[in-house]
Amino acid sequence: MSTPTFIRSFDEQAIPLPPKPTRSTVGLVEISDVSKSYGAVRVLRDVSLTVQPGEVIALIGPSGSGKSTLLRTINHLETVDSGSVTVDGQYIGYELRSGRLHELPEKNVLERRTQIGIVFQNFNLFPHLTALENVVEAPIALRRATRADAREQAKALLARVGLADKEHHYPRQLSGGQQQRVAIARALALNPKVLLFDEPTSALDPELVGEVLDVIRELSKSGTTLIIVTHEIGFAREVADRVVFLEQGEILEEGTPSQVLSKPRHPRTKDFLRKVL
């Protein structure tokens, strides 16, 4: 079967695109043979991963293994050199025309990106807005809700993350853990189909880690689809349905937490866990 071609609209450079899986085999998130390089450094090497609705995936591995880059390809914060990524059967940064993928204008990319929430390491809150205003901003800006409805939803989300009493506080008035919980509420405000976490506790003081993990733990029990880049191996063991180990841009091992974390098969996984546990 012929393979459709990947085209960047800006430079019309064709690169390989794997055939899209048939609908019966597609997960909510479908990563197919994705590769990514920065100059001569190849960061991702033909990575494929399927995530089902409601599944919690923990991405683990040493620093520089490609975990965060892989996460960012899902919402098109990183473009891919070859391969494809779909969410609920839809390309996020591209559209398929006549067997070729064409990069979308930024406005359309932003619209499709609203299907995917992401929580970064360093919170990325607007410093001049209160906690409530940070959560309200996106639904209003994208005309997804009236101001009154957005405020009502934001209040409910802040209560969900344990910050009902902090809605009028500015980020500078909040601890790191509280800021990260506001960031989680903000990511949930657009009702995304999948929520991405890029090492959400790495910038926190140790005593604040637990309050953020508690919120993610609650989300994992609620049926929210989560993909989490984490160094918290114990937490991954507790909440993940599947653990994926990456090394030098490749998936070397994946399976249930008990399989990967307790009985790893690949020598590199064993060596990594021996050092971090």
Q: What is the rounded (10 degree) CA torsion for 232, 238, 242, 243? A: 20
**In the block, residue with structure tokens 């918290």:** 232
Q: What is the mean pLDDT of each run of 10 residues along the chain (277 residues)?
A: 45 48 68 95 97 97 96 94 92 85 87 92 95 95 89 97 97 97 96 96 93 96 96 95 98 97 97 94
Least Cα distance to 85 among 148, 143, 36 occurs for 36
Token readout for 105 is 């204008």
* SS3 category, 59: strand
Give per-residue pLDDT as tens, 160-204: 999 999 999 999 999 999 999 999 999 999 999 999 999 999 999
CA distances from 207 to 56, 75, 78, 202, 237 (A): 25, 31, 32, 12, 20
Mean pLDDT of the chain: 90
Compute the distance between CA of residue 2 and CA of residue 5 in angstroms, rounded to an integer.
9
**With b meaning 16 or more CB within 10 Å and e meaning fewer, what string describes 31-61?**
bbbbbbeeeeebbbbebebbbeeebbbbbbb
Compute the distance between CA of residue 277 and CA of residue 232 in angstroms, rounded to an integer.
10
Residue 262 per-residue DSSP state: I
Structural domains of the chain, with CATH = 5-115+192-276 (3.40.50.300), 124-191 (no CATH)
How many CB atoms are closer than 10 A to CB 271? 13
pLDDT more than 90, % of the chain = 78
Give per-residue pLDDT as tens, 219-244: 999 999 999 999 999 999 999 999 99
Least Cα distance to 153 among 167, 141, 136, 170 occurs for 136
How many CB atoms are closer than 10 A to CB 119? 25
**DSSP string of 148-215?**
HHHHHHHHHHHHHTT-GGGTT--GGGS-HHHHHHHHHHHHHTT--SEEEEESTTTTS-HHHHHHHHHH
